[in-house]
Amino acid sequence: AGMPFHAHEVFEDAWKSGPEDERELWRGLAQLAVGLTHSARGNAAGGARLLRRGAGAIAPFAGSGPHGIEVSGLCDWARELAERVESGPMVEAAAEAPRLRA
């Protein structure tokens, strides 16, 4: 936890090389990681935009729970964080990064 930029690199690799039916999932997860990175670096507008875009990309996977990911909770987290980023101080990546698995 707390290393969203590095997570983005892994998600981006999966997005570009993974099965076609999962590419939107990996792209969305990469966008969430980059959104958190931007938010933690003080780019509130860009961070919030990517958090919302990523949530929208992964939302269609909510019913299937791919790879054990609790997608609906992750979407809720991203949308709530986007609101906080736009209205408050910078966020700390390590404190905000979700765990995809226990």
Distance CA 38, CA 62 (A): 25
- What is the pLDDT confidence band of residue 60, given thresholds at 50, 70 and 90? very high
- What is the pLDDT confidence band of residue 8, given thresholds at 50, 70 and 90? confident
Q: Which residues of 44-66 are buried (b: 16+ CB within 10 A; e: fewer)?
A: bebbbbbbbbbbebbbebeeeee
The answer to whether residues 42 and 78 touch, using CB atoms and an 8 Å cutoff, is: no
The domain of 52 spans 4-94
In a domain, 101, yes or no: no
Distance CA 95, CA 42 (A): 15
Looking at residue 74, its pLDDT comes to 93
For residue 53, what are its two tokens? 């875009």
Looking at residue 102, its pLDDT comes to 46
pLDDT digits (tens, 9 = 90+) for 14-42: 888 989 999 999 999 999 999 998 988 88
Q: Answer with the residue of higher pLDDT: 11 or 93.
A: 11
In a domain, 55, yes or no: yes
What is the count of structural domains for the chain? 1
Whether the pLDDT of residue 2 is over 90: the answer is no
In a domain, 99, yes or no: no
Q: To 10 degrees, the CA torsion angle through 10, 11, 15, 21?
A: 130
